Amino acid sequence: MRFNLFFLFLFLFLSATSSFAQKQKFELKGTIDPELLEGKKLYFSRVKMYGASKPDVMTVSVAGGKFLVKGEIEEPEQAVLSFNKEAKADSSALSFLIDKGTLSVAIGDKLPSAKVVGSKADLDFKAYLKKQSSDTNEFNELYLQLMEQAKKGASRDSLQLVFQNAYEIYKKEIQNIRLDFIKSNPTAFISVLLLPEVAEYSQDYKMVDALFNQLSADVRKTPSAKIIHERFSKDRQLAVGSVAPEFSQADVDGKLVKLTDFRGKYVLVDFWASWCGPCRQDNPNIVRVYNQYKEKNFTVLGVSLDRAEGKAAWLKAIKDDNLTWPQVSDLNFWKNEVALLYNVTSIPQNFLLDPQGKIIAKNLRGEQLENALSEILK
C-alpha cells in the first residue's frame, strides 16, 4: 500500500515550536533464551520516521541471557531486533516503535513474537493497526481470490473492475478509521504520521489544519512534523485547482517532451514503472480509457521511475502493455526530477489536467477515471 507524506500547519508556529524538540534518554532492557541465541548474534537498529536514509545498526552485547541498549531520541523511532546483521524490519525480526524512558522485552522461543513493554508510541501504533486489521485482512483475502480466478482464466477486465470497486470502498473505510483514531488520540505520535494519508485522500486542507491543532503540543513540535510540513507545503501547490508545474524530460528516443506541449488537451500525467506491479495491473484500464477518449481531446503522458540499468525493461513494458501515448523518463528511479517536482513518493500516481494545465483530479483509478472523463468530455 502506498504510504505518501503529507501534512499541513502554520509555518510560523512550527518554526517557534520545533526548536524545542530535545533529545531524551531511552533504555531497552531485554532477556533472551540462550538456546535461541546459540550460534547467532543479536543486532539492534533504529531509524527516524522521516529524514534518515538508512538505519543505525549495532551489535547487542548479551551476557547470561540479558542485554541492555541505551541511547537518546528526539521522538519515537522505528526499531528492530534481528539475528541478521542488516537488522531489516522483516518477518524474521522484532519490529517496534522505541520511545523515551525504560522499555523491556523478553525474547522466548521466537524473536518476532516477543512483546515490547513500556513504549507508549508502540502501544498506540499497535492499537491503530488492530482497528484497521479486519478491513485490511478482508481486502487482502479478496485480492488473493481475484488472483486465483485470474489464473483460472477469468476475464481480467471484469476482475479489475471488481478489484477497483473493492479498493475504493476499502480506502474510504480506512480513511474513517484514521479520522476516528486521530480525534481520539491527540497525544499519540502515530496521529501526526496518519495526517498525511488523511490529506492525500481528502484533499481537504482546512480539515487537516483543524486535526493538527487538536494534537498535543508535544506531538506538534516533533522533528517528523517539521519534515512532513516541508514536504506538504510543496504538495499543497499540487492541490486540485492549482496549475501543474511545468517540466520537460526525454522520451524513449531521447527527444525532449514538455508538459506545455499538451496545452489545449485534457492530460493524464501518469507516474509508473516497469517494476511496479500495481502500475502494470492498472495499465490495461488506462489503455482502454485512452482508446475510448483519444479522439475527444484527451491524452496520457507517462512518467517512468525506472532505473538506467532498467531501460530495456521499461521499453519492453511499454510494448507489452500497449502504451501508445508519449513516455518520458530520466531513468533515475525515485530521484526522477519530475517525480520530485510533483512530490511523488509512491506509485501508481496520476494527475488529470484540463486544457489550461490546471489540476482537476488526482489518483483516478479504474471506474473513477472513466467516469471523470465521461463527465468532462460528454
Whole-angstrom Cα distance, residue 134 to residue 9?
Answer: 32
3-state secondary structure of 169: helix
- How far apart are the two ends of the chain, measured CA to CA in Å? 33
Active-site annotation holds for 13: no
Closest to 359 measured CA to CA, from 198, 208, 246, 205: 246
What sign does the dihedral 327-348-196-359 (CA atoms) show?
positive
User: Which of the residues 32, 94, 199, 279 is marked catalytic?
Assistant: 279
User: What is the number of other CB atoms lying within 10 angstroms of the CB of residue 203?
Assistant: 18
Distance CA 190, CA 250 (A): 40
CA 273 to chain centre: 16
Cα 95 to the center of its chain, rounded Å: 18
Among the listed residues 276, 286, 303, 305, the single catalytic one is: 276
- Rounded to 5°, the CA angle 8-11-15 comes to 125
SS3 assignment, position 204: coil
| Cβ contacts of 212 within 8 Å, gap of 6 or more | 7, 8, 9, 192, 195, 220
Each as own residue / partner, the long-range contacts of residues 117-122 (CB below 8 Å, 24 or more positions apart, any chain) are 119/76, 120/188, 121/76, 121/97, 121/188, 121/189, 121/190, 122/76, 122/96, 122/97, 122/98
Distance CA(112)–CA(60), nearest Å, equals 17
279: annotated active-site residue: yes
Question: What residues form DSSP beta bridges with 272?
Answer: 304
Q: How far apart are CA 202 and CA 334, in angstroms?
A: 25
DSSP state of 8: -
Hey, which residues are catalytic here?
276, 279
